[in-house]
Amino acid sequence: MPAADMLAPSDEIHTYLVARLNDALRRPGMWGGELGIRLMLDHLLFLERRQEAWDDEQRALEQRKAWTPTGVKGAFGGFLPADPDASVASVYAEFAHRQGWLKTDRVLSTDEYASMLATIDSWAAHDRVWADVTSFFGTPSVLFGGTNPYYGKTLGYVTAGLSAPMVFFHLWNGTDPDAEPSWPPAREQPLLLAIRRGDAPFAASFTYTPEGHRRRPAQ
The one-digit pLDDT tens for each residue of the chain (219 residues) are 566 678 999 999 999 999 999 999 999 999 999 999 999 999 999 999 999 999 999 999 999 999 999 999 999 999 999 766 999 999 999 999 999 999 999 999 999 999 999 999 999 999 999 999 999 999 999 999 999 999 999 999 999 888 899 999 999 998 777 767 777 887 899 999 999 998 889 999 999 999 999 999 986
pLDDT at 219: 65
Alpha-carbon gap, residue 119 to 5, rounded angstroms: 55
pTM (two decimals):
0.94
What pLDDT, on a 0 to 100 scale, did the predictor assign at position 183?
Answer: 79
Hey, what amino acid is at 162?
Answer: L
Burial, 158: exposed, middle or buried (Cβ in 10 Å; 0-12, 13-18, 19+)?
buried
Q: What is the pLDDT of residue 218?
A: 80
Contact between residue 63 and residue 118 where contact means Cβ atoms under 8 Å apart = no
Task: Report CA-CA distances (Å) from 64 to 14, 67, 68, 125, 159.
Answer: 30, 8, 11, 25, 22
pLDDT at 130: 98
